[in-house]
Amino acid sequence: MDLSVLSTGVVELSREVGEFIRREALVFDRANIEYKGLNDMVSYVDKTAENMLVKGLEKLLPDAGFITEEKTVNRESEHYTWIIDPLDGTTNFIHGIPTFSISVALQHLEELVLGVVYEVNRDECFYAWKDGGAYLNGKAIRVTTAEKIEDTLLATGFPYYDFEKQEPYLGVFRELMRSCHGLRRIGSAAVDLAYVAAGRFDGYFEYNLNSYDVAAGIVLVREAGGHILDFSSGNEMISKREVIATNGQITAEVLAIIDRHFNKAKN
């Protein structure tokens, strides 16, 4: 399989679906919100975008399975699986905040091999494939070279329904607020990871994430030369639902800060 050719098809499809989302954002009415759980919202835009992505991806790779946020399709495959978030940043979309994205990843067996994140409002498409590098709108991207936390801008996300780890998380915030240029909370994990890959953020961390939130971004960060790991410095980001992404230079510092507060909470 030529992953570079496949990525081109996914990029084109993501732009087409992104145009639909962009049009709907101009006329969206909050009366169309549905709730899947506490602060977990969805709309017809998410569901329609997902259907469009599934139909397009079926044409690109007919025998692949799907893992999708809105569960509009249920199909398993032994070899290839598409992992889709049709609208990452739904809360932003619903409130008219212009940062939301499409996230599409391809998994071969247990390995993520392709990732595309399309930031709809800025018309920025980040994409990468295994051993092929990472790109933004056709130009190669790399992570930053900052070597110390004090020289970095970091991103994170806030818990919005699972508050079990709130106290250690706030401890990490307090320490990082004093240590770096600043902390940002954009509201789309896919965009956060894409921005690490593109050198806009030096690092990002968050917990309580789903595979479709981070799968594409994991490929981007890896191919852009960064580090991607779980809170225990392992490779179980998806099963543990937690991610640390860095430029590779500040990994040890970020891990030490997270470990200090989370281990204190356990003891």
Strand 65-68 and strand 80-88: the pairing is parallel
pLDDT band with cut points at 50, 70 and 90 for residue 80: very high
The set of long-range contacts for 76-84, using a CB threshold of 8 Å and a minimum separation of 24, is 79/108, 79/109, 80/106, 80/107, 80/108, 81/106, 81/107, 82/54, 82/57, 82/106, 82/107, 83/107, 83/112, 83/211, 83/212, 83/215, 83/216, 84/50, 84/53, 84/54, 84/57, 84/212
Domain spans, the chain: 3-140, 149-266
Arithmetic mean of pLDDT, 37-55? 84
Q: Can you tell me the distance from the alpha carbon of 254 to that of 244, in angstroms, rounded to the nearest whole number?
A: 8
pLDDT band with cut points at 50, 70 and 90 for residue 251: very high
- Spatial contact of 24 and 45, defined as CB atoms under 8 Å apart: yes
Q: Residue-wise over 161-176: b if at least 16 C-beta within 10 A, else e?
A: eeeebeebbebbeebb
DSSP codes, 144-202:
----SGGG-EEEE---SS--TTHHHHHHHHHHHHTTSSEEE--S-HHHHHHHHHTTS-S
What does the pLDDT read at residue 163? 72
- Spatial contact of 120 and 135, defined as CB atoms under 8 Å apart: no
What does the pLDDT read at residue 160? 65
Q: Can you tell me the distance from the alpha carbon of 69 to that of 73, in angstroms, rounded to the nearest whole number?
A: 10
What does the pLDDT read at residue 3? 97
Residues in the chain: 267
Q: Tell me the pLDDT tens digit for each residue of 201-212.
A: 999 999 999 999
Beta bridge partners of 105: 83, 115
What does the pLDDT read at residue 43? 86
Q: Tell me the pLDDT tens digit for each residue of 168-223.
A: 889 999 999 999 999 999 999 999 999 999 999 999 999 999 999 999 999 999 99
Q: Tell me the pLDDT tens digit for each residue of 97-114.
A: 999 999 999 999 999 999
Among 180, 207, 184, CA closest to 196: 184
Q: Over pLDDT 70: what percentage of the chain?
A: 95
Asked if residue 267 has pLDDT above 60, the reply is no
What does the pLDDT read at residue 161? 64
Residue with tokens 């990452």: 88
pLDDT band with cut points at 50, 70 and 90 for residue 35: confident
Q: Tell me the pLDDT tens digit for each residue of 121-173.
A: 999 999 999 999 999 999 999 999 999 999 999 999 987 666 777 888 899 99
What does the pLDDT read at residue 71? 86
Does this chain's domain 3-140 share its CATH topology with 149-266? no
Class of domain 3-140: alpha beta
Q: Can you tell me the distance from the alpha carbon of 24 to that of 139, in angstroms, rounded to the nearest whole number?
A: 29
State which fold the 149-266 domain adopts: D-Maltodextrin-Binding Protein; domain 2 (3.40.190)
pTM: 0.94
